[in-house]
Amino acid sequence: MSKLNVDQKTIFELLSDKKADFLIPDYQRPYAWNEEQCQTLWDDLFTFSFPNNDYEAFDKNDEYFLGSIVTFKNNDGQSEVIDGQQRLTTIMLILRAFYDKFAHMQDANSKQTRDRIEKCIWKTDEFGSADKSTLKIDSEVATDNDKEEFLDLLRTGTVKPNSKSQYVSNYQFFQKKIDDFLQAFASYFPYFPARILGNCILLPIEAESQDTALRIFSTLNDRGLPLADADIFKAQFYKYYGEIDKKDDFISEWKNLEELTSSISYLNTGSPMDELFARYMYYLRAKEGNKSTTTEALRKFYERNKYQYLKRPETISNLKALALFWKSISNQDSQRFSESILKKLFVLTYAPNGMWQNIVSVYFLHHRTSEDALSDPEFEVFLDRITAFIFAYAITNPGVNALRTPIYDEMVNIVNGKEVTFSKYRFDEEQARSFFENYRFTNQRNITRSMVTWFAYTFSNQLLLDINEIFHLEHIFSKKRQEMEGELQNSSAIESLGNKVLLEGSINIRASDYRFKDKKKIYSGEQRRGKNKGATKVYEIYEIIKLEDFGEDQINQRNGEILDKFFAFLHDQDLIDVTA
Please give the Cα distance from 498 to 385 (Å, whole number): 24
Sign, CA dihedral 125-127-128-130, equals negative
CA 392/CA 140 separation, integer angstroms: 51
Q: Which residue has the higher pLDDT, 489 or 121?
A: 121
Q: Residue 221: which pLDDT band, with cuts at 50, 70 and 90?
A: low
Please report, as a single letter, which amino acid is at residue 148.
E
Give the 3-state secondary structure of 521-572: HHHHCCCCCCCCCCCCCCHHHHHHCCCCCCCHHHHHHHHHHHHHHHHHHHHH
Instruction: Report the Cα 142 to chain-centroid distance in Å.
Output: 21
Q: Half-sphere exposure of 469 toward its Cβ, with a 13 Å CA cutoff?
A: 18
pLDDT score recorded for residue 282: 97
Residue among 499, 502, 498, 497 nearest 463 (CA) = 502
pLDDT in tens, 492-544: 888 899 999 999 988 887 776 678 888 888 898 876 554 445 799 999 999 99
Q: What is the mean pLDDT of the chain?
A: 89
> β-strands 22-24, 79-83: how paired?
parallel
**For residue 431, pLDDT beyond 60:** yes
Contact 432, 395 (CB under 8 A): yes
**H-helix or E-strand spanning residue 434:** helix 429-438
Best CA proximity match to 432, nearest among 561, 559, 293, 580 = 580
Asked if residue 158 has pLDDT above 60, the reply is yes
| CA–CA gap between residue 541 and residue 538 (Å, rounded) | 6
Rounded to whole angstroms, the Cα distance separating 576 from 427 reads 5
Residue 472 CA to residue 572 CA, distance in Å, equals 29
- What distance in Å separates the CA atoms of residue 55 and residue 390, rounded to the nearest whole number? 69
First and final CA of the chain: distance in angstroms? 53
Phi-psi region of 482 (alpha: psi -120 to 50; beta: other; left: phi over 0): alpha
Half-sphere exposure of 425 (CA within 13 A, CB side): 22
**pLDDT tens digits, one per residue of 88-118:** 999 999 999 999 888 888 888 889 999 999 9
61 SS3 class? coil
In sign, the C-alpha dihedral spanning 167, 173, 176, 178 is negative
Determine which of 76-85, 120-129, 270-279 has the lowest per-residue pLDDT on average. 120-129
**pLDDT band per the 50, 70, 90 thresholds, residue 134:** very high
pLDDT at 143 over 80: no
What span, in angstroms and rounded, lies between the C-alpha atoms of 52 and 272? 45
> Does residue 169 surpass a pLDDT of 80?
yes
CB 495 within 8 A of CB 442: yes
pLDDT at residue 351, as a whole number: 95
What does the angle CA 142 – CA 148 – CA 150 come to, to the nearest 5 degrees?
A: 110
Distance between CA atoms of 560 and 483, rounded to whole angstroms?
Answer: 24
Strands (E), 91-144: 122-124, 130-135, 137-139
> Which class for 123: exposed (0-12), middle (13-18), buried (19 or more C-beta within 10 A)?
middle
* Percent of the chain with pLDDT strictly greater than 70: 93
| pLDDT reading at 32 higher than 50 | yes
**pTM beyond 0.85, yes or no:** no
374-389 confidence digits (pLDDT tens): 999 999 999 999 999 9
Between 476 and 508, the higher pLDDT residue:
476
Taking the C-alpha atoms of residue 382 and residue 414, their distance in angstroms, rounded to an integer, is 10
| Spatial separation of the C-alpha atoms in residues 142 and 375, rounded to whole Å | 39
Contacts of 194 (CB under 8 A, 6+ apart): 109, 113, 116
* Backbone dihedral angles phi then psi of residue 372, each to the nearest 5 degrees: 65, 30
What average pLDDT score do residues 240-255 get? 86
Q: Give the pLDDT band of residue 2 (cuts 50, 70, 90).
A: low
Confidence band, pLDDT 50/70/90 cuts, at residue 471: very high
What is the predicted pLDDT for the residue at 483?
64
Give the sign of the dihedral formed by CA 327, CA 331, CA 337, CA 343. Answer: positive
CA–CA separation, 170 and 233 (whole Å): 29
Lowest mean pLDDT among 96-105, 319-328, 524-533, 565-574: 524-533
Instruction: Count other C-beta atoms under 10 Å from residue 112's C-beta.
Output: 13
Q: Which of 202-216, 320-334, 378-392 has the lowest mean pLDDT?
A: 202-216
